[in-house]
Amino acid sequence: MALIVVRHDTGRPGLYGAAAGIVAAQCGARVMHGPVRLDEVRDPDACQHVGTGPDRVASGLLHAERLTGRLVDAIATPAQIVAAAATDDVVVPLDRLLDAGTGFVTDLLRRGAAVGLRRVSAYQDGAVLMCRDDGDGTVVAHAVRDGFGRFLPETHGAGEVGRVSVVLIGRPVTHHEVYPGALAALGDAADALGIGVDVTFVDPAAADDDPCYAALPDFDGMLLPGGAAVPGARGQVRAATVALESGVPVMGQCLGMQTMVTAFARSRAGLPDATMAEIAGGAAGVHSFIPHPHYRLGTGKLSPVPDTVLGAMLVDGAACVRSNHRYVLNTRLLPGLVAAGLRVGAWNDDADVVEGIEVPSHPFYMGMQGHPELSSIPGSPHPLCVAFLRAALTRRDGRAEAENRKER
């Protein structure tokens, strides 16, 4: 059995674990990881991945999970890692720029030296992430990073069906270097449909009168991702309102579902002052989402609602979702929301937390309270992401047909 440490100094939480995952996939090994220092003031989404452990872990470890097909475990000690390496091949990511200062690295290298530790260094060569053995300089493994931020064995082009335009309400640096899940899942769905996706980012902190919102109806689809940056929720609500009015297909993930429901409450359910308690900051009012008694972290089973479009998607592996949130839909508002046209597509297993919503009168207005993007892998995308891009294709084709009719 072997212990391999892969050094990849980027300082970016969304890349932590990627190089280790590439090496582990090549060797058929498992990835284990230690503590890292993450600046969640600068990068609120730096530590948002949900693995098998009791705590959130660095968001970039999603790459290791996608590459190896193994769920990420909890943070391990050097002693635990060395013990595991006695019976299994183990790869450990190391980023000196994220060193937590706990002595983990020094202790691991000391213990590893006694069992024949192998060191590998990773570096970026254009779109290729190369991993070389520190001893003999041979290339141990490599992968190509595509436009969705995914690390793949080789390059591959878009399919022949065509391209759709998707606006993502978020900052590029967040989704390329901090939280890779949303873009990666979008790429998996695009591959399944054989299409290309042109992604445009809109800053969620943009003011309500920013001209970016007027341009949103020009897109084929809108993605409202999850996120821990509360100020960005206001921009998402504004964008979701535009999607409701213009018919742009929109998919919400975690925070995205919360902002979608809030926008619906304001514009369709007669609650113009509705806001999320997390945004309200303790102020009284109509709160669309309220604190849950427990921090909902981990994987939970869903109870799909019969005769709903979303519920029909949530079968097999999609019948479970990873959650990472403290706020839930205020069910006291449900009667009014339902009367206005919103429909619950899924509950949690205890039927006290709304896990998914849809608006049947809209071309595609669906969101999930959990993180469906974390369950997506190449070759097996989450069905919600696939359905979203199908709706974007339909909008693209419908608009093209309308333009053709004008020219006749």
Rounded-to-integer distance, Cα 278 and Cα 266, Å: 17
Give the residues of the chain that fall short of pLDDT 70.
Answer: 155-160, 408
Of 139, 144, 134, 186, the residue nearest 165 (C-alpha): 186
The three-state DSSP-derived secondary structure of the chain is: CCEEEEECCCCCCCCCCHHHHHHHHHHCCEECCCCECCCCCCCCCCCCEECCCCCEECCCHHHHHHHHCCCCCCCCCHHHHHHHHCCCCEEEEECHHHECCCCHHHHHHHHHHCCCCEEEEEEEECCEEEEEECCCCCEEEEEEECCCCCEECCCCCCCCCCEEEEEEECCHHHHHHCCCHHHHHHHHHHHHHCCEEEEEEECCCCCCCCCCHHHHHHCCEEEECCCCCCCHHHHHHHHHHHHHHHCCCEEEECHHHHHHHHHHHHHCCCCCCCECHHHHCCCCCCECEEEEEEEEEEEEEEEECCCCHHHHHCCHHHHEEEEEEEEEECHHHHHHHHHCCCEEEEEECCCCCEEEEECCCCCCEEEECCCHHHHCECCECCHHHHHHHHHHHHHHHHHHHHHHHHHC
Crossing angle of the two packed helices 232-246 and 255-267, in degrees rounded to 10: 60
Contact indicator for 372, 382 with CB cutoff of 8 Å: yes
pTM of this structure: 0.95
Token pair recorded at residue 256:
């995205």
Q: Are strands 250-253 and 221-224 parallel, antiparallel or unpaired?
A: parallel
pLDDT the model gives residue 405: 78
- List residues bridging with 302 in a β-sheet: 348
pLDDT in tens, 308-317: 999 999 998 8
Rounded-to-integer distance, Cα 239 and Cα 28, Å: 43
Contact indicator for 251, 221 with CB cutoff of 8 Å: yes
Chain position carrying tokens 């022949």: 160
pLDDT the model gives residue 239: 97
Contact indicator for 299, 321 with CB cutoff of 8 Å: yes
Contact indicator for 161, 350 with CB cutoff of 8 Å: no
Contact indicator for 88, 4 with CB cutoff of 8 Å: no
Contact indicator for 196, 190 with CB cutoff of 8 Å: yes
CA angle 301, 303, 305 (to 5 degrees): 155
pLDDT in tens, 58-88: 999 999 999 999 999 999 999 999 999 999 9
- List residues bridging with 50 in a β-sheet: 56
Largest CA distance in the chain: 78
Q: How many CB atoms lie within 10 A of CB 154?
A: 8
Rounded-to-integer distance, Cα 23 and Cα 13, Å: 18
